[in-house]
Amino acid sequence: MDLPQLRFGEKVATLPIIQGGMGVGISLSGLASAVAREGGVGVIAAAMIGMGEADISSNYREANIRALKQEIRKAKKKTDGILGVNIMVALTNFADMVKVSINEGVDVIFAGAGLPLHLPSFLPEGAKTKLFPIISSARAANILCRKWLSRFQYLPDGFVLEGPKAGGHLGFKEQEIEDKASSLEEILPKVLETVSEFEKKTGKKIPVIAAGGIFDGQDIHKFLSMGASGVQMGTRFVATEECDADQKFKEAFVQATEEDIEIIKSPVGLPGRAIKSPFLEDVKKGLRKPFKCPFQCVSTCDYTKSPYCIGMALMNAKKGFLQRGFAFAGKNVSRVREIVTVKELIACLREGYLKARSKIFF
Ligand SMILES: Cc1cc2nc3c(=O)[nH]c(=O)nc-3n(C[C@H](O)[C@H](O)[C@H](O)COP(=O)(O)O)c2cc1C
C-alpha cells in the first residue's frame, strides 16, 4: 500500500503532504505548483508577496493584491493539482489576501500567526475554498471550533497543528519551545481528542495535519500512525530546485549545523527559529535602530521600537543577500544535505514511509 490520500471536503490530494507556506517569497508559484503536480498540496505564501512590485512603497495594498493574483494564476497554469495560500492573521492586508484567494478559486487557505476568528465571514455562498487554521494547541482548536460554529455555523475544514520544531514564527512562549509537554507528540493526541468531539457533534470530518520538524518518511509514518491525516513540511521543501528563493538561501540550509540555529524575538511579537547571521548579531548588539516604516505590513509589529523591518530582512534573504537579512528554518535544518527536485524529495519520503510501514508489519 502506498501513502494514503489526504481528503478534506470534496478535495482529494493523492499524497498526505502539504508544503508549508513560506514567506517572504520562499514559496510562490514555482514551488507550490511543483508540489501540487506530484500530488501534494502546494502553498503560496501571501506574506508581503508584493515586495517585488515596483510600486510597493507608494501603493502597498494594490501591489500585494496584484502580486498574489499573478502568483495564483501562474501556479494554476502549471498544475491541476491542489493549491493553497498561506495568510498570516497578523498581516494588515489579511482581508485583501483572503478575498483574492477566494476570488481566484484556490483550494484552501491556511491561516496562522494569530487565531483566524473571522475567516469564515469572507466565504461567499457556494465558495469552494476550504479553511485550515494553523494552531499550536488543543485550546486554540477548541476556541476556533466553538466560535466558528456559533458565529458562522461553520467548522474548520482541517487544522494544521504546528509543533515547536517548526521553522518561522512559533506559537509557543520561548520557555515552552524545548519543553517536552509542548512537543508535537504530546499535543497531537490532545488536538485529535478535541477535534473528535466536534466531529461527533456535527458529522463533519476535520483532518488534523502535523507540522514542525517532520523530516523523513519515517516521521510521516509516525504521525499518521498517531492519527494525523497528513503532514506539513517546510524546511525540506526549501532545499529543492523548484523553491522560489535564491540559490544562496537554499545553500544556507544545506550548510547549516545544529549550532547555527537560534530562537529570535521577531518584530511580529512571536519567537521564531532562524539561521544565525551577521544581521541578527547586529540586532543583538543594538547596532540596528528603529526605522521609518513604509509598509506597516504586520499589525503586531511596533515599528517605532523594532530595530529592523522584518519584511525587508526576509526579502533580502530570499534574494540571496543574507548579510542584510536572515533565513527562518526548522530545527532539523542541520540534517539537510543537498538540493534535490521536488520529485526526488517526494520519492525519498515515500520510500522512507513504506520502509517504516513494512517494519511494523514484518
Ligand atoms: C523559511 C520559512 C518561512 C516560513 N514562512 C511562513 C509563513 O509565511 N507563514 C506560516 O504560516 N508559516 C511559515 N513557515 C512555517 C512553515 O509553513 C511550516 O509550517 C514549517 O516550516 C514546518 O516545519 P519544518 O520546517 O520543520 O518542516 C515558514 C517556515 C520557513 C522555514
| Ligand 1 touching residue 194 (CB < 6 A) | no
Q: How far is the CA of 203 from the centre of ligand 1 (A)?
A: 31
Strand partners, 91: 298
Q: How far is the CA of 284 from the centre of ligand 1 (A)?
A: 23
Ligand 1 pocket mutation, candidates 22, 110, 263, criterion most atoms within 8 A of CB:
22
| Ligand 1 touching residue 114 (CB < 6 A) | no
**CA-to-CA distance for 82 and 127, rounded, in angstroms?**
15
Q: What are phi and psi of 351, to 5 degrees?
A: -60, -45
**Among 31, 84, 6, 74, residue whose Cα is nearest residue 237:** 31
| Ligand 1 touching residue 20 (CB < 6 A) | yes
Residue pair 25/49 in contact (Cβ under 8 Å)? The answer is yes
Residue pair 230/19 in contact (Cβ under 8 Å)? The answer is no
Cα separation values, 317 from 29, 115, 121, Å: 18, 27, 35
Furthest C-alpha separation in the chain: 63
Q: How far is the CA of 168 from the centre of ligand 1 (A)?
A: 5
Atom of ligand 1 nearest to the CA of 47: 8
| Ligand 1 touching residue 232 (CB < 6 A) | yes
Across the beta sheet with 261-265, what order do the strands follow? 168-169, 271-275, 261-265
Q: Give long-range contacts, CB 8 A cutoff, 24+ apart: 249-253.
A: 249/26, 249/317, 249/318, 249/320, 249/322, 249/327, 250/339, 251/339, 252/322, 252/327, 252/329, 253/327, 253/329, 253/333, 253/336
Query: What does the block give as the cell for 82?
Result: 491542489
Atom of ligand 1 nearest to the CA of 162: 19
Q: Which amino acid is at 149?
A: L
Rg (CA), the chain: 19
Which pLDDT tens digits describe the chain residue by residue (362 residues)? 799 999 999 999 999 999 999 999 999 999 999 999 999 999 999 999 998 899 998 999 999 999 999 999 999 999 999 999 999 999 999 999 999 999 999 999 999 999 999 999 999 999 999 999 999 999 999 999 999 999 999 999 999 999 999 999 999 999 999 999 999 999 999 999 999 999 999 999 999 999 999 999 999 999 999 999 999 999 999 999 999 999 999 999 999 999 999 999 998 889 999 999 999 999 998 887 777 787 888 889 888 888 888 999 999 999 999 999 999 999 999 999 999 999 999 999 999 999 999 886 55
**CA-to-CA distance for 35 and 140, rounded, in angstroms?**
28
| Ligand 1 touching residue 213 (CB < 6 A) | yes
Strand partners, 82: 41
**Among 103, 150, 149, residue whose Cα is nearest residue 128:** 103
Find out whether the peptide bond into 268 is cis, omega within 30 degrees of 0.
no
Atom of ligand 1 nearest to the CA of 110: 11
The size of the chain, in residues, is 362
| Ligand 1 touching residue 325 (CB < 6 A) | no
| Ligand 1 touching residue 168 (CB < 6 A) | yes
The predicted pLDDT at position 151 comes to 97
Q: How far is the CA of 138 from the centre of ligand 1 (A)?
A: 20
Please tell me the pTM assigned to this model. 0.97
Q: How far is the CA of 202 from the centre of ligand 1 (A)?
A: 31
